[in-house]
Amino acid sequence: MIKHIKLNQDNLAFAIEVQNEIFPYEDATKEYTDMVNGQSDANFFLVYNGDDCIGVSGLKHYGIDVEDGFLGWFGILPKYRRLGLGSEALRLLDETARDLGFRRMRVIFNTEKGFEGAKTFLKVNGYTAEPYQCPKDRISLSGNYAILSRSLYNEPIEPWNNRNLHLTEANR
Ligand SMILES: CC(C)(COP(=O)(O)OP(=O)(O)OC[C@H]1O[C@@H](n2cnc3c(N)ncnc32)[C@H](O)[C@@H]1OP(=O)(O)O)[C@@H](O)C(=O)NCCC(=O)NCCS
């Protein structure tokens, strides 16, 4: 049975270890710490299968848009992959996203650096891709970005349509 536990002061250091193992080249310490200290309204979780911690997951949103939830730091530890647990964790996060009022889930995907298996994983889980190139978002103009989207209510998906995500150097 999959469950997730929101990050707090007690599990923060452990969550950073898990995140660093899944994403060896990217560090979520600042985002995690900001959330735990109440300086951001993102939601980050440790994911458990029974007593075993199997990964991390999270939800963010951009600006005043509260209908589009973005996956943030979602991953399964290597030894637990290809067992269907990532798909289960994604469905659990969908429930949380609906509870928080989101209507759609989105993922920013770097087509140059992103883990190719992740794109397949998202497509198998119902996400559709569109390129992201916003004239006002300089980093997106590299052409290396896609937005993958899925409705949380079985509605036809509204494309993101290149609305400005203000990508930062951290998204590179
Ligand atoms: C992407 C990730 C979350 C998948 O987790 P998982 O628990 O292995 O996923 P599942 O077992 O639920 O996979 C479901 C299906 O997705 C597809 N899939 C998953 N990983 C895949 C891979 N490496 N290559 C190709 N297809 C893959 C397969 O169709 C799989 O079904 P199958 O195993 O019956 O063939 C995991 O590999 C991971 O954490 N990667 C590193 C972090 C990352 O890229 N995060 C971004 C995720 S959006």
Parent domain of 164: 105-172
pLDDT at 64: 81
Q: How many domains does the chain have?
A: 2
Answer yes or no: do 22 and 95 share one domain: yes
Percent of the chain with pLDDT over 70: 99
Same domain, 66 and 145: no
For all residues of the chain together, what is the average pLDDT? 95
Task: Look at ligand 1, atom 48, and give the residue with the nearest C-alpha.
Answer: 118
Whole-number Å distance, alpha carbon 162 to ligand 1 midpoint, is 26
pLDDT in tens, 31-90: 999 999 999 999 999 999 999 999 999 999 988 888 999 999 999 999 999 999 999 999
- The tokens for 59 are 């939800």
CA distances from 116 to 22, 38, 87, 110, 123 (A): 15, 34, 16, 10, 11
Is the pLDDT assigned to residue 105 strictly greater than 70? yes
CATH of the domain at 15: 3.40.630.30
Q: Are residues 131 and 91 in the same domain?
A: no
Segment 134-140 mean pLDDT: 93
- Is the domain of 98 the same as that of 109? no
Kindly give the residue spans of alpha helices, DSSP state H, lying in the chain: 12-22, 29-36, 85-99, 116-124
Does ligand 1 have an atom closer than 6 angstroms to the CB of 66?
Answer: no
Ligand 1 centre from 167 Cα, in Å?
25
pLDDT number for residue 141: 93
| pLDDT surpasses 70 at 172 | no
